[in-house]
A and B are shown apart, each in its own frame.
Chain A
Amino acid sequence: MQTRFSFGGDDHIFAEVDEAMSLEAFFKSLFITNAVRDAKIKGVTEICPANASYQVKFDPDLIKPDDMLVELKRLDMAAGKSEPVIATRIIEIPVLYNDPWTHETLMRFRERHQEPNGTDLEYAARINNLDGIDTFIKAHSSAPWFVSMVGFVAGLPFLYQMVERKRQIQAPKYLRPRTDTPKLTVGHGGCFSCIYSVRGAGGYQMFGITPMPIYDPNQNISYLRDFMCLFKPGDIVKWKPIERAAYDEAVVDVEAGRFAPIIRDVSFSLTEFNRDIDGYNRKLEGVLHGH
């Protein structure tokens, strides 16, 4: 992987670690952006890791664009040599798959979809050669996912499934984007899942909904009082399929301020993960449930 650098106007540098998505490319982007943050370079105003690329915004009155580029290239070279281990968190996200709200929405926008006579779940199951919705939900929720980027809108996580490429779920976006998506929809486009942090337009396939808010600009939600966005790039997510009763209960608990998401600190090694993916994922799930 040879990083490709480009100026984005006179005040951004855009760096593409790789054209294709991979955990290796994501780790490199995460490492370099951490290194840029630690380097405290004068004039840097935004440091943004993305799936397989990253971006730095700077004030060209404080640092010359060419000097900024030299700094980034130096950090990029160094980051390629470090051991791919990160200290991060694993977070359990309850999901009501096949829920009534995304169902209502997907029916409303059916003429914009590849399969007008089915649902997004049925379509995704079929094109991924999975035998029905239940098998699909199992495939979606059994392995953990990396938050490989946060953005588009405030607090929205892009998630990358932690399995070999041939097992990864893939699905195209809607033919034409919807003008509406329920808040907290769990969606999927390309190889990425996401959680819509706010209600609004969207083009990802819709699989379900979580009762657990992930963005609260008023910071009333108990676990979002320290910061209004839950996710950071590098977080690990484990979906937990739930039934309607558990969903309703969780909504009430969130309202009452007693919903406590399961979040554990964990160290992640890409080398060890690649050695035994399923074994490593079982270990991560063990951490989540306290053993």
Chain B
Amino acid sequence: MAIKVLKPGLATTVQDLGRPGYYHIGIPLSGGMDRHALTAANLLVGNPEGAAVLEAVFMGPELEFTDDAMVAVAGAELPPKLDGEPRKTWVSFKVKRGQKLSFDFLKKGARAYIAVAGGIDVPVVLGSRSTYALGALGGFKGRKLEAGDELPVGAATAAVKEGRSVGEELRGLPMAMPTELRVMPGLYWHRITDAAGIGFFSDTWKVAPEADRIGYRFKGGKPLGFVPREPPFGAGSDPSNITDACYPYGSIQVPGGTEPIVLHRDAVSGGGYFMVGTVISADMDMIGQLQPNTPVKFVKVEMDQALAAREARAELLAKIRSSLNSSP
């Protein structure tokens, strides 16, 4: 079976849980920005957790199914419509051959994951079906979807009923306003002054329009002051420059000390800007659900808090697993 793309949406891509192992040659992990929602969408339709799905951002695509299918949409509140009839997010529903799936306007969040039983069956490249658009790699022809594309769908591995759902308390979406992103200071934190360090965590920042799969830019906080130095050979003369180094996923670089950029799943793997620290792994999914202009505070945490948060995040998924496994 296949899915015909009638309208592509803004930047809809095929994603799974990513392509680890090639970051040392500049090929990033890729995969769903909100891995929790991607996994939940797959579980709702009875797929393996890492099956390939469609990631839609801000605006949904319009799709036509060439065969019957089970579908679920999780993540952002991007309400699905089947031949114009509303369907719920976070609930599995049946689609009949020839029916059209479209979406209402985005209500909350930023990225919705559209899972189809059987998974999007594009070729596996370096161990993953995820799209890395900057390198024209993986996904559907290495790019975002376009009208006229036909996406192959695999054979469903387990038949599940419609109406399977994930409760609100298990969705792991950002709640607080401003959204709090927990950060472990480190990397080149020592390059900024004490006052700048205090300002970084006390200021309220806003998601800038430049927010995509590579990274999220933030603005509105005070510029960071630097500790004076003699530039090391190879680093460059700007105080925010370092000898080009690796960038961790979630690392926060601040070019020129002005606008922090948090690198995400399609991260550039390295470069010459210093970083003040790293968003903890448990909060990476949440970044993928932030719209431009959302107020954000960076909250300083230590390793034990980061690991506890990671465990809490894993717990949410474990609860989804057990609740869905007990209802066919």
Q: Which residues of A contact B (CB under 8 A)?
A: 6-12, 14, 16, 18-22, 33, 45-55, 57, 60-61, 65-66, 149-156, 158, 165, 172-173, 189-192, 197-198, 200, 215, 217, 228-229, 231-233
Contacts and interface: CB of A to CB of B under 8 A. Distances in A.
B233 A22 contact: yes
A19 B279 CA distance: 23
Interface in B169-189: 184, 186-187
Contacts of A233: 24
Contacts of B99: none
B20 interface: yes
Contacts of B251: 8-9, 12
Interface size class of B (residues with CB under 8 A): 35 or more
A151 B303 contact: no
A79 to B, nearest CB: 17
B167 to A, nearest CB: 24
Interface string B208-223: 0000000000000000
A160 to B, nearest CB: 8
Contacts of B289: none
Nearest to B305: A10
Contacts of A153: 26, 134-135, 268-269
A65 to B, nearest CB: 6
B303 A50 contact: no
Contact of A10 (B241, B303, B314): B303
Given A10-B303, A217-B142, A155 B26 contact: yes
Interface stretch (B41-49, B270-278, B290-298): B270-278
B309 to A, nearest CB: 8
Contacts of B20: 45-46, 57
B313 to A, nearest CB: 11
B228 interface: no
A14 B306 CA distance: 17
Given A11-B281, A152-B26, A156-B26, A60 B243 contact: no
Interface string B88-107: 00000000000000000000
B268 A48 contact: no
Contact of B270 (A11, A45, A50, A200): A50
Interface of B: 20-21, 23-27, 125, 132, 134-138, 142, 184, 186-187, 232-237, 241-246, 248-251, 268-272, 275, 277-282, 303, 306-307, 310, 314
B24 A12 contact: no
Given A10-B184, A10-B281, A191-B234, 13 more contacts: A8-B275, A9-B248, A10-B282, A12-B249, A18-B232, A20-B233, A33-B24, A48-B246, A53-B245, A55-B246, A57-B248, A172-B237, A217-B142
- Most A C-beta atoms less than 10 A away, residue of B125, B135, B235: B135
Contacts of B138: 217
- Of all A-B residue pairs in the complex, the 7 with the closest CB atoms, nearest first, are A21-B234, A8-B248, A9-B278, A151-B269, A55-B246, A20-B232, A154-B135
A191 to B, nearest CB: 5
Contact of A57 (B249, B272, B306): B249
Given A7-B184, A51-B243, A151 B24 contact: yes
B234 A190 contact: yes
Given A19-B243, A232-B25, A151 B270 contact: yes
A22 B234 CA distance: 8
A59 to B, nearest CB: 9
Contacts of A154: 25-27, 132, 134-135, 137
Contact of B24 (A46, A61, A65): A46
A104 B209 CA distance: 30
Contacts of B187: 6, 8, 14
**In the complex, which of the residues B20, B142, B184, B248 has the most CB atoms of chain A within 10 Å of its own CB atom?**
B248
A155 B28 CA distance: 11
Contact of B246 (A14, A19, A165): A14
Given A12-B278, A189-B272, A151 B232 contact: no
Contacts of A57: 20, 23, 248-249
Contacts of A21: 232-235, 243
A231 B269 CA distance: 15
A45 B233 CA distance: 31
Contacts of A22: 233
Contacts of A47: 24
